[in-house]
Amino acid sequence: MSPAHVLEPTYQDLKRGLMQGRWRPGERLEAIRLADEFGVSMTPVRDCLNRLAGEGLVDMKPGDGFRVPRISEKMLRDMLDLNAMLLDFALQNPIDIGALAHVTQSVEDYAGRVAALFGIIAHRSANTALIEIVHSLGDRMHAVRRWEPQLLSDCIHEMEELERHLTDNSSDLNIALRKYHDRRLGSIPELVQLAQS
């Protein structure tokens, strides 16, 4: 195992690169090339790639190595459906966390803002497993969410509306979240095509 002072920054750099689309879907992630790029040995890179594979952010097949995952229409549909169910469950808990909604506005990129908002909603459940799963789904869907502003022209306004409902602790948040997910479910082919381009 690599020392933490090398492992954690390498992990963060790789994860950030994956979520920002630095490598194309299906592209092979060669440990030796990445080690040279990050100025570390191959061991921490391999350790990080294995960790990212466990998180579903990297595909690993024996004999083929590590690759950036390709997302299918079915996989995206399944993730959106699961995310919607988890957030609906989280909203059944009446804990008022509206004051936390300002956190989402400090996130600069749209995909990160969506993940932050959904993370706050997940915290309403007070269920640590649910919180972890929503966070993991957010990481895995980041590559698709990055493209939503190109496909869905008013998604920023939609995000602001969700944040407003959360801040106001409005019962309309459930309805707005369902619309959010339904809209993306209706745009799956286009979203997958953009994410794979």
Q: Which two tokens stand for residue 112?
A: 């990160």
Supply the pLDDT for residue 1.
53
Angle CA(5)–CA(44)–CA(144) in degrees, nearest 5? 100
Give the residue from 83, 192, 84, 182 showing the smallest Cα distance to 145: 192
Cβ atoms < 10 Å from Cβ of 21: 15
Distances (CA, A) of 68 to 38, 147, 161: 18, 17, 33
Distances (CA, A) of 151 to 26, 81, 114, 189, 194: 22, 20, 16, 11, 9
Tens of pLDDT, residues 107-166: 678 999 999 999 999 988 889 999 999 999 999 999 899 999 999 989 999 999 999 998
Supply the pLDDT for residue 96.
56
Tens of pLDDT, residues 21-42: 899 999 999 999 999 999 999 9
